[in-house]
Amino acid sequence: MREKDLKAANGGDSVSELTSWEGGIIQFPVPMDPPLRRVNSYILPDRNGQLTVIDPGPHTPEAEQAWENVLQSAGYSWNNIRDILVTHHHPDHYGLAGWLQARSGGKVWMSERAHDEAQRTWGAEAVLNETLPLYFTRNGMPEDWVQGIREHLERFLPQVTPQPVVSYMNTAEPFIMGNRAWQPLVTGGHAPGHVSLYHGDSGQILCGDAVLPLISPNVGLQPGGEPQPLLTFMEGLRELRGLRVSRAFPGHREPFTGFAERADSLLRHHEERLDTAAALLGGGPLSGFAVCEALFRGRVSSAHQMRFAMSEAMAHLAELVRRERASVIQPEPGGVTLFAAVE
């Protein structure tokens, strides 16, 4: 069972604490920005002391320091890190991979789809800084929010620099970590090409942000991303809930049991949200921003939260359109797109 405080890192920061779990999985909460505050990195040592790291964290001075402290206190050196597996391209999971690779010489593994998304979002050719604000404007977001989101997007770049050299996982084959064979499972919706890793014999799953306890993973529609993220997210939940899971190791918060029940409650949450959004349109056509404001009223206080809230509202509207519960009213040039209820 759980062996708390396996080895506490002495970085003067209470988050640099390792927890050891069944099967040799080591949980290492890496500091990140609020509101999440921690992202779980997992370390899987093999019999020869070689390490696989899952999701190293964002590239920040605090995360660098936490890694320095933890490796030292656990008696490992950088050279012990052989593989670095990244579940998806978000900065809190992917950001430190390039830095860790430079230190350790480890191989960085991602699905090809997730790496495409990393390049599209953070690479030299990235256009999201322009396309996302434009998309939000067309869907009715006022300029002061759009400007805040523009600035917010630019602030992320240091957290994902340097970019790693990536090897593509063969997601049809088991991936060996800690002397055990883990089955990669690709699901979309939260992030394209998101990989969870499932060990059937023990029932353990490293599920990144595909399923989280206490938090509903963000499902966002963004230009250039998945066209139907809520559909793919819900399909992913239905696939994952069918696994025999003894314990899930998520990207945020604590490892948990009751995996299928958690997936079911996320499915219910999204069905309820769809009904709420459809009821809003029942009062007359609305912009995506108006729906976002009604859905997330009072819970959005920063550009960061607004970006996720708006993308999520757009994902719900796209799903209502797909289900033929809503239709799109295309605007005049320069106007705002509206959504209308289908009777």
Nearer to Zn ion, 163 or 187 (CB): 187
Smaller CB separation from Zn ion, 251 or 288: 251
Choices 18-26, 179-187, 234-242, 248-256 (CB under 5 A): range interacting with Zn ion: 248-256
Amino acid at 306: M
Rounded distance between C-alpha atoms, residue 111 and residue 87, angstroms: 8
What is the nearest approach in angstroms of Zn ion to the Cβ of residue 91? 9
CB of 93 to Zn ion, least distance (A): 6
**What is d(CA 261, CA 169) in angstroms, rounded to the nearest whole number?**
29
Sheet holding 81-85, edge to edge: 19-20, 26-31, 38-45, 51-54, 81-85, 107-110, 166-168
Distance (Å, rounded) from C-alpha 274 to C-alpha 324?
Answer: 12
| Residue number, 17 or 92, with CB nearest to Zn ion | 92
Mark the segment that binds Zn ion (CB under 5 A) among 140-148, 170-178, 245-253, 309-317.
245-253
Which of 149/286 has CB closer to Zn ion? 149
Residue 251 touches Zn ion, criterion: CB under 5 A: yes
Q: Choose one: 82-90, 97-105, 253-261, 269-277; the region binding Zn ion (CB under 5 A).
A: 82-90
Q: Which of residues 111-140 bind Zn ion (CB under 5 A)?
A: none
Q: Is 90 a binder of Zn ion (CB under 5 A)?
A: yes
Output 140 or 189, the one with its CB closest to Zn ion: 189
Rounded to a whole number of angstroms, the minimum distance from the CB of residue 193 to Zn ion is 12
Nearest distance in Å: CB 106, Zn ion: 21
User: Min. distance of Cβ 32 from Zn ion in angstroms?
Assistant: 8
Provide the token pair at 30: 């890496």
Residue 35 CB, nearest approach to Zn ion (Å):
11
Size of the site for Zn ion (CB under 5 A): 4
What's the token pair of residue 169?
Answer: 């996982």
In sequence order, what are the beta bridge partners of 208? 250
Which tokens go with 28?
């290492």
Task: Determine the residue type at 234.
Answer: M
Piece in contact with Zn ion (CB under 5 A), picked from 73-81, 98-106, 204-212, 260-268: 204-212
- Minimum Å distance from CB 191 to Zn ion? 5
**Of 57 and 133, CB closest to Zn ion:** 57
C-beta closer to Zn ion: residue 93 or 180: 93
In b/e form, how buried is each residue of 302-335, taking b as 16+ CB within 10 angstroms?
A: ebbebbebbbbbbbbbbbbbeeebbeeeeeeeee
Q: Mask 140-179, x = binds Zn ion (CB under 5 A)?
A: ----------------------------------------
Q: Does 307 bind Zn ion (CB under 5 A)?
A: no
Answer for which of 209, 226, 293, 312 binds Zn ion (CB under 5 A) is: 209
- Give least dist CB 187 to Zn ion, A: 12
- Joined together, the tokens standing for residue 328 give 């799109």
| Number of C-beta neighbours around residue 111 at 10 A | 23
23-31, 85-93, 229-237, 308-316 -> range binding Zn ion (CB under 5 A): 85-93
- Of the candidates 92, 226, 312, 319, which one interacts with Zn ion according to CB under 5 A? 92
- Is 98 exposed, middle or buried, given 0-12, 13-18 or 19+ CB atoms closer than 10 A? buried
C-alpha distance from residue 80 to each of 128, 232, 261, 305 (Å): 36, 37, 37, 37
**Residue 38 backbone dihedrals phi, psi, to 5 degrees:** -140, 140
The residue among 224, 228, 229 whose CA lies nearest residue 125 is 224
Helical spans, DSSP H, in the chain = 61-74, 91-94, 97-104, 112-122, 128-138, 143-155, 229-241, 259-281, 288-295, 303-322
Q: Which residues of the chain form contacts with Zn ion (CB under 5 A)? A: 90, 92, 209, 251
